[in-house]
Structure 1
Amino acid sequence: MLKLNFTALPAALDAGVAIMAPVLGFTRAADGVAVTTAAEPGGPLLVQTGPAGPARIVYPTQAAFFRGLTALVQGLNSGTPVDIKETPRLQTAGLMFDMSRNAALTVAGLEAMLIQSARVGLNAALLYMEDVYAVPEYPYWGYQRGRLSQAELKAVDDFGAALGIEVIPCIQTLAHLLNPMKWPFMHAIQDAPGILLVDDPKTYTFLRHIIAAASAPFRTKKIHIGMDEAHDLGRGTYLDRHGLVDRTEIMLKHVRQVTAITKELGLHPIMWSDMWFEAAGHGYYDPQTQFSDQLKAEIPDVDLMYWDYYHDDETFYEQMIATHQELGRPVSLATGVWTWNGLAPNYGKTLATMNAGMVAAKVMGLTTVFATMWGDDGGETPFTAAALGIQNFAEQVYHQSVDSDRLAAAFTRYQGKKAADYLALDQFDQLPELTPANPEATNPSKIVLYEDLLSPLFAANTAKVDLLGHYRTLQTQLQAIVDRGQAKAGDQAVFVFYTRLAAVLVQKLAVMAAIRAAYTAGDRTAMKAAAAQLPALRTAVSAVRDAHRQCWFALYSPFGWEVLDVRYGGLLSRIDTVAWRLQQWLDGTVSSLAELDEPQLPVGTVTPASIGRGLYTDLASVSKISGV
């Protein structure tokens, strides 16, 4: 193992070096390679090795030191000289981890993601926690949701601080609270579903408790208070009490009261910016929005975070940032690593939107950026599958622009991974017949996995694309990655999961086609052959579930996985019922199968960019999954 001898290493770096040593593969020893270190705030990151003299790292921030250390170790281990000079273009940059869509990161999972952040030199992290942090006054807050205790969050904060990462709580203080509102203690403070009742004293008692609990474990005085997408604000209980009131007035009243709480607690609030645009009577992404002078004057002291992971035009971002800046409050950008497309990351959309947004942020003089990693519809995509998007974000922080060659080289240097391997994951939802980069976020892999074997809802949409051929090619590609031994890079579990997923998609498409062809032809011999494929499909579904479960439990709380068990269990049970139904037809118990007689109608609008997309409830059945 590589030995390093740091000369005059600052004590502030000791704990972080101890964390990173086993990760990067080195030990500290007096007879190791000599490494000098020097802090140079505001300067560039310099990393150099050479044939004569010690190696050296000159770093502008603590986080940049660990980026430099990662590059140094990689160079020494590979025998490749290192000569790096790069200056961070932004003061604060980090990842936002969605912990509220069932996939709640454990302490170990958070530490793994913070280590990944440190490797690439990011100095901040947002923990998006709707109801997954303990609040002493409310025992049902985060109940069976994987909530973290204040002691656990403090441990995460200590871990981040050792790596130079500011860990910031990101909560909700207006909307996106539908899940906890199932509990009776919140019924009295609900306006519309998921939205708090503005201007009720009980609401602000509640908010003071949750803000205090969310902020207490952390060193930082920053807190993200949410406030986004409150579309039905003032349209429920508030409307009953006060009549129809302009949403701008309601927003201003609420934000004033919430920021008064944060001021009382000595906190610096940040909020999503979209509701100011909606309150002004415009859609969020309208750069022509005009804010009144009165609104500009009345918005309280709160920073604004502009979230946008949808546009790929740098000029658009520049215009939107300029519009935000008219409000006279500090503005930051939240771009996205598309972990919420479905089962696999959408790298095409990630790279197109992130590169445009990040370049614009630098042009417009922003100092703070985050890359969101949402987990819509159950957190099906493991965050570890997003490694290439994380690297791209970091390269945008340390360089003015990033091309594919720079990204691939950096990915190997800082994470020991191959860009081509991770770009293969993009192929789950990037079909060759559709627009490159998947701009409409179509998710055919999720469609195929969850749609019905006999009456697939999206069959008409996919009729003109070669799904079977595409996933066969992808399965072969992914199997080659697994066979090559990605375990050395710590990625084996992720690629085993995705290889098995591709195999399931291939088998399911093949058996669906065989069943329909046999039924259409009235060929019982062919139907027997098709039905004989169902046990193998059942085995394959079990195998992908097991591999997915392995990835999940490496990062996330066990609470939340039960939802995916229900989904996989539904697939397994449906295979059993399909086998039974086919046997009924084969032995003449029934003369027809209504599921196969039903015409296949298109769903939505099929375009050159999309064959459709959906959440689980949109794909598994037209019938109600739950509800009255």
Structure 2
Amino acid sequence: MQKIHLEKTAAFSVLVNEYPKYFTHGNGRSILFGKWDSEGFSVFSFGEDISVMYNKEGEIFRALSLLMTELEKGNNGVIKIRQIPPFKFRGLMLDSSRNAVLTVEAAKKAIMKLALLGYNALCFYTEDTYEVENEPLIGYLRGKYTIKEMKELDDFAFKFGVELFPCIQALGHMPHIFKFNRYQDVRDDERCFNVRKEKSYVLLEKMMKSASKPFRSKRIHLSMDEAHGLGLGNAFLPGKVNDPRELFVKHTIRVMKICKKLKLKPLMYGDSMVGFCGTKRFTSEQKKSIPKDLKVVYWDYYRETAKGYDNYIKEYEKAGFKPMISPGVWSWLRFWPIYPKAERNLDLFMPVAKKHGIDESLITAWGDDGNECPFNSNWPALALHAEYCWSEKADKKKLKEQVKVISGNSFDALISPWILDVVDKKSAYFRTPPSVGRAFLYDDPIMGIFSGHTFGRKLNPYYEKAYSTIKSAMKKEKANKDLLSFPLLFADVLRLKADFKQNSYKAYNAGNKAALRKMVKDASELQKRVKKLWKMQRILWLKERKPFGLDVLDLRYAGLIGRFDVFKERVNEYLSGKITSIPEFEEKPQACYGEFPRCSLRMYRDIACFHIPV
């Protein structure tokens, strides 16, 4: 393979260092870059010199990644590539509020790879995990990005043609701020700002000013989604009409005034307006009152038909907005992304948006309830989103080629672990896909809250097969060994733990002491396997993320291992005659959360223990 010679610019030096297989500052095929007025870029070569024509600087990197795939295929002959992106804004919103905040170095690598896929925008979702000047409690012990760190990332992103911009919360989702006494006077409930208090807007202006300070971009994402409880706490006025929708409209108008003062261009999620998140739809007059000079973002990860997306887009259009769309990678509430659901979301959502003339898409990577999912497991879904942004119809073959050259791993290896979250393939396409593997991991070995939904089923054999499937998919992989060993270790736990509570319960109630002794041995073996999984998750976390937030997972793993000790103690006391019963094994298991496997998509607190306060 003949490498491509790149000049010694800051961005190209990063590529040479990261991808020495394809690029060099030394001898290699020369490449000539030229700027033109046409949309998109072209790549052309007769086998020696390469010509790249581009419209915007960042397009150079998409062109280079496609060249990487040609080199990987051994194509040293004619190369003809022409791409015009249907989507002008191609972004990622990365959740940095659910414990996981990428280190500066990991964020730089992510920016570089996103640029190679053709992304031109990135924002970190930061509820409180960014520095607010003279407010040390905001982001305290949460791994917040400092203004200096954000400035460093903005400078780096600029070299790759990626617009970095702030993404904060300007209404709800603020429990990490409102838990402090200092902010009680601006709190409505544990989530929302008190929009009747002037002090709220003083703080919000300070937050918006600090959030936008490090960036070249004047864009700011204010979020304001899922404002549950708005006006129903300290802002509630007894004996008067309290319409949260009216409060939302007035608040939006007020926040827009701050944006104009600070010369910022705001984005806002539109779910409250269209009643998308369980709230009542705004009236026509209320929709008209929302300022039209802000960009409304239509997030949706759930529709099961193209018509479903089409209907919501039409509702936004009727209200006077051309929305930016926001699909999802489906990485939240699980240990590995469930790619088939992300693929379905993109396959339906993106073409519908194109038909409406929408040319802005911001894919989301949430991390609800612990952010267990490694960031670098998301490249297949991120690459598919990029394909839709750059093509009228996504080329799934090209997608797999790009995943391979950019991540270093095959597409199949990176998506294979999704089978740990389902026990049949059709459930991957549920409106909200299950997270069975995660639920079984956190299921208490004695109480077995989640296991109560699976009595009568034997699932250890399913996970035995899943373990073999994942191992086979990863057999030839050479890169990112730690990343790929993580789901394999996860499967190794599940193939023994899925039926653990069921087997223990049945052995106890059958008076089978030999089987109970085996369960004690299984508990010891599971402790070893869980420790290996925990150790690997710590390694991956600290490779990608700041240490803050890892304590949550440490407590979960340590708690699980400790409960296995309690299990062994309780069963051994029963076997020795020290105690005459184990009451936890005498209560009949119940499917308390409904139908399996839908019941698995629960928060940790719902699975591990009934006694954790909500």
Deviation at 1:531, TM superposition (A): 1.2
Structure 2 partner of 1:531:
520
2:542 matches 1:553 = yes
Shift of 1:407: 3.1
- State the partner residue of 1:213: 210
Q: In the alignment, what sits opposite 1:376? A: 368
2:317 equivalent in structure 1: 325
- Asked if the contact 1:430–1:438 (Cα under 8 Å) also holds between the matched residues in 2, the reply is no
* 1:126 CA drift (Å): 1.7
Q: Which residue of 2 aligns with 1:109?
A: 106
Offset of residue 435 of structure 1: 3.3
Is residue 15 from structure 1 mapped to residue 7 from structure 2 by the alignment?
Answer: no
Verify the 8 A CA contact 2:121 2:164 in the aligned structure 1.
yes
**Deviations along 1:136-192, whole A, 9 cap, x unmatched?**
221101000001110100001111111110011110111110111111121000112
Partner secondary structure for residue 453 of structure 2:
coil
What is the CA-CA distance between 1:255 and the residue it aligns to?
1.2
User: Could you list the per-position Cα deviations for residues 507-549 of structure 1 after superposition, in whole angstroms to 9, with x for gaps in the alignment?
Assistant: 2235445433432331222322221222221111110001011
Distance 1:60 1:291, change over 3 A: farther
On the 8 A contact 1:344/1:385 being kept in 2, the answer is yes
Cα deviations by residue, 1:398-422 (Å, 9 ceiling, x for unpaired):
1122264443344335444322212
Instruction: Identify if the C-alpha distance between structure 1 residues 364 and 517 changes in structure 2 by more than 3 Å, giving closer, same or farther.
Output: same
Residue 600 of structure 2 aligns with which residue? 612
Q: Does the CA-based 8 Å contact 2:490-2:533 persist in structure 1?
A: yes
1:334-356 Cα deviation digits (max 9, x unpaired): 11001103222111211111221
- Counterpart among 485, 493, 506 of residue 496 in structure 1: 485
CA gap of 1:401–1:194, structure 2 versus 1, over 3 A, is: same
1:486 maps to: 478
AA partner of residue 110 (structure 1): A
The one of 221, 228, 233 aligned to 2:230: 233
d(CA) in 1 for partners of 2:72, 2:569: 58
Deviations 1:448-473 (A, max 9, x none): 10112133112242235542122111
- How has the CA–CA distance of structure 1 residues 466 and 528 changed in structure 2, closer, same or farther, with 3 Å as cutoff? closer
Q: Is the 8 A contact 1:45 1:58 kept in 2?
A: yes
What residue in structure 2 maps to residue 401 of structure 1? 393
Does the 8 Å CA contact 2:309/2:352 hold for their aligned counterparts? yes
Whether the 8 Å contact between 1:337 and 1:386 is mirrored in structure 2 is: yes
- Read off the aligned partner of 1:616 and give its amino acid letter: Y
Give the residue type in structure 1 aligned to 2:547: P
* In structure 2, C-alpha distance between the alignment counterparts of 1:298 and 1:619, rounded to whole Å: 40
Mapped to 2, the partners of 1:418 and 1:571 lie a distance apart of 33
Aligned partner of 1:621 in structure 2 is 609
Residue 261 of structure 2 corresponds to: 264
TM-aligned CA distance change 1:472 to 1:42, over 3 Å: farther
Contact 1:24/1:70, CA 8 A, preserved across alignment: no
* Closer/same/farther in 2, CA of residues 466 and 392 from structure 1, 3 Å limit: farther
Q: TM-score, normalised by structure 2?
A: 0.94
Q: Distance in 2 between matches of 1:322 and 1:486?
A: 47
User: What letter matches 1:621 in structure 2?
Assistant: C
Question: Which of 370, 378, 381 is the aligned partner of 1:386?
Answer: 378
Q: Report what 1:355 is aligned to.
A: 347
Partner of 1:4: 4
Long gaps (5+) in structure 1: none
CA distance in 2, matches of 1:294, 1:547: 51
Match of 2:58 in 1: 63
Question: What residue identity is the alignment partner of 2:319?
Answer: L
For 1:413 and 1:43, the matched residues in 2 are separated by 26
Q: Is the Cα–Cα contact under 8 Å of residues 455 and 502 in structure 2 kept in the other structure?
A: no
User: SS in structure 2 opposite 1:69?
Assistant: helix
Q: Is the 8 A contact 1:2 1:77 kept in 2?
A: no
Contact 1:541 1:568 in 2 (8 A): yes
**Matched residue type, 1:37:** F
Name 1:597's counterpart in structure 2.
586
Rounded to whole Å, the distance in 1 between the matches of 2:297 and 2:38 is 24
Structure 2: distance between partners of 1:581 and 1:101: 35
TM-score normalized with structure 1 length: 0.92
Of 80, 84, 93, 1:83 maps to 80
Question: Which residue, out of 116, 121, 136, partners 2:133?
Answer: 136
2:89 is the alignment partner of 1:92: yes
Residues 1:118 and 2:115 aligned together: yes
Contact 1:199 1:253 survives alignment (8 Å): no
Q: Distance in 1 between matches of 2:202 and 2:472?
A: 57
Q: Distance in 1 between matches of 2:286 and 2:503?
A: 66
Q: In structure 2, which of residues 31, 37, 48 is the aligned counterpart of residue 35 of structure 1? A: 31
The one-letter amino acid of 2:184's match is H
Does residue 1:303 correspond to 2:318, yes or no? no
Matched, 1:177 2:174: yes
Q: Return 83-92 or 204-213, whichever deviates more.
A: 83-92
Code of the aligned partner of 1:79: G
Counterpart Cα distance in 2 of 1:464 and 1:408: 40
Summarize deviations over 1:299-334 as a string: whole Å, max 9, x none: 353110011011132222122112112222342001
DSSP-derived class of the 2:232 partner: coil
Identity %: 27
Q: 2 CA distance for matches of 1:318 and 1:20?
A: 40
Q: CA deviation at 1:610?
A: 2.6
Give 1:389 shift.
0.6
Q: Structure 2: how far apart are the matches of 1:418 and 1:332?
A: 31
Q: 1:611 to 1:580 in 2, by over 3 A?
A: same
* Structure 2 unaligned blocks of 5 or more: none
- Which of these residues, 390, 405, 415, is aligned with residue 423 of structure 1? 415
Q: Kindly tell me: are residues 159 and 298 of structure 1, through their superposed partners in 2, closer, same or farther at Cα, counting changes over 3 Å?
A: closer
Residue 586 (structure 1) aligned to one of 566, 570, 575: 575
Cα 1:578/1:62, change in 2 over 3 Å: same
Count of residue pairs the alignment pairs up: 611
Q: Is the 8 A contact 1:271 1:302 kept in 2?
A: yes
Which of 147, 161, 166 is the aligned partner of 2:163? Answer: 166
- What CA deviation, in whole Å up to 9, does each residue of 1:224-277 have, x standing for no partner? 111111121111111147943322321222111111111111111111111222
Structure 2 CA distance for aligned equivalents of residues 106 and 276 of structure 1: 35
Amino acid in structure 1 at the alignment position of 2:4: L
- Whichever residue aligns with residue 122 of structure 1, its letter is Y
Which residue does 1:24 correspond to in 2? 19
What letter is aligned with 1:4? I
Answer yes or no: is the 8 Å Cα contact 2:273–2:281 preserved in 1: no
Q: Which residue of 2 aligns with 1:457?
A: 449
* 3-state DSSP of counterpart to 1:179: helix
Kindly indicate whether the alpha-carbon contact (under 8 Å) linking 1:346 and 1:438 is maintained by their aligned counterparts in 2: no
Match of 1:50 among 46, 57, 61: 46
Q: CA-to-partner distance for each residue in 1:279-304, whole Å, 9 max, x for gaps?
A: xxxx5589x96852564155353110
DSSP-derived class of the 1:33 partner: coil
How far the C-alpha of 1:438 sits from its partner, in A, is: 4.2
Moved beyond 4 Å, runs of 4+: 283-286, 288-291
